[in-house]
């Protein structure tokens, strides 16, 4: 297992602690973003878990065209830069087209390839050429063995700072299922593997919006850590019922400490 660098963090490798990628689904406003980041930084510091803050400046794949998408590139990056400057933690956000990669890389430590775009060669290689870490979310339509092709595209651009994220597989219409074997299969590629515990409980396209069942987040997360993943991805909000995106899947910020404590302990045993 390779050790990768994200900012000042070294992630993956034998005996490494569980790392955490967490934050609100989308940047709703600067105050909420900073407040959430402050809580997560404190929790992860107390638990001894390396932490990367995550939030999206644009949710370009909303089910409905009139759904809230975020503040956009310029304002979103300003907020993410403030998180990074204020708390001294690395930050991650999604990129959706080639033109976004360079400006995002000037602020963010990880460029994330959304699941629906995991086969977009030009986007992946543009992200890779920034020399920032690239987190590839495995598409809901993709077999875990096929993640090797996305990895090869990043490597071909001269970048070996790569993470792979499992976020569930399409199961009929309107549901996802997680095959825990995918975590082990993708780890065989030699890079850290992350489990996205909140998007994995989505119920896509439920009447014009994406539904979900946040009750299952701890269940799947515990199973994934026991199966041997290297990091966990969580979307969280102070009041998920009022969240402007993925309200059904995000977990309350008040529950994060308890969940991460359990996941940390399972990881120690499973390592």
pLDDT of residue 60: 82
CB 106 within 8 A of CB 131: no
Residue 147 vs residues 19, 49, 150, 160: alpha-carbon distances, Å: 21, 27, 5, 15
Q: Spell out the long-range contacts of 246-249 with Cβ–Cβ below 8 A and sequence spacing 24 or more.
A: 246/25, 246/26, 246/198, 246/199, 246/202, 246/210, 246/212, 248/202, 248/203, 248/210, 248/211, 248/212, 248/213, 248/214, 249/25, 249/198, 249/199, 249/201, 249/202, 249/210, 249/212, 249/213, 249/214, 249/217
Query: Do β-strands 110-113 and 9-11 pair in parallel, antiparallel, or remain unpaired?
Result: unpaired
Q: Rounded distance, CA 49 to CA 264, Å? A: 8
pTM of the model: 0.97
Residues 6+ apart with CB under 8 A from 99: none
pLDDT of residue 209: 67
The whole-number mean pLDDT for each consecutive block of 10 residues of the chain, a chain of 271 residues, reads 94 95 98 98 98 94 80 97 98 98 98 97 98 98 97 98 97 93 98 97 76 95 98 98 93 98 97 81
DSSP for 252-271, written as a single string: EGGGHHHHHHHHHHHHHHH-
17-270: which CATH topology? TIM Barrel (3.20.20)
H runs (alpha helix) in 6-72: 30-47
**What are 186's two structure tokens?**
């993708």
Query: Do β-strands 19-23 and 231-237 pair in parallel, antiparallel, or remain unpaired?
Result: parallel
Query: Whose CA is closest to 256, among 197, 191, 207?
Result: 197
Q: Rounded distance, CA 114 to CA 182, Å? A: 18
Q: Rounded distance, CA 251 to CA 95, Å? A: 24
Q: Rounded distance, CA 220 to CA 197, Å? A: 6
**Phi, psi for 200 (deg, rounded to 5):** -70, -15
Enumerate the β-bridge partners of residue 112: 94, 135
pLDDT of residue 58: 94
In degrees, rounded to 5, the angle at the alpha carbon of residue 135 between the alpha carbons of residues 232 and 212 is: 50
Helix 256-270 and helix 30-47: axis angle, to 10°? 40
pLDDT of residue 208: 61
């Amino acid at each position: 297992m390779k050790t990768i660098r994200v900012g000042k963090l070294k992630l993956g490798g034998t005996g490494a602690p569980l790392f955490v990628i967490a934050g609100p689904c989308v940047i709703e406003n600067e105050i909420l973003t900073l407040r959430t980041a402050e809580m997560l930084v404190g929790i992860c510091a107390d638990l001894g878990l390396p932490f990367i803050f995550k939030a999206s400046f644009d949710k370009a794949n909303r089910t409905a065209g009139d759904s809230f998408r975020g503040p956009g590139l310029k304002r979103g990056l300003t907020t993410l830069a403030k998180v990074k400057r204020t708390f001294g933690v690395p930050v991650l956000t999604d990129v959706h087209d080639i033109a976004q990669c360079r400006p995002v890389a000037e602020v963010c430590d990880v460029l994330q390839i959304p699941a629906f775009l995991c086969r977009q060669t030009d986007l992946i290689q543009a992200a890779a050429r920034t020399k920032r870490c690239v987190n590839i979310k495995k598409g809901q339509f993709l077999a875990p063995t096929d993640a090797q092709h996305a990895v090869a595209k990043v490597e071909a651009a001269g970048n070996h700072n790569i993470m792979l994220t499992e976020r569930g597989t399409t199961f009929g219409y309107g549901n996802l299922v997680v095959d825990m074997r995918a975590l082990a299969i993708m780890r065989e590629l030699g890079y850290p593997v992350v489990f996205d515990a909140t998007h994995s409980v989505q119920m896509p396209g439920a009447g014009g919006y994406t539904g979900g069942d946040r009750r299952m987040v701890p269940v799947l997360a515990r199973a994934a850590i026991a199966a041997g993943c290297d990091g966990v991805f969580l979307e969280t909000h102070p009041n998920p019922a009022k969240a402007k995106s993925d309200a059904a899947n995000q977990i309350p910020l008040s529950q994060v400490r308890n969940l991460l404590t359990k996941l940390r302990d399972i990881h120690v045993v499973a390592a």
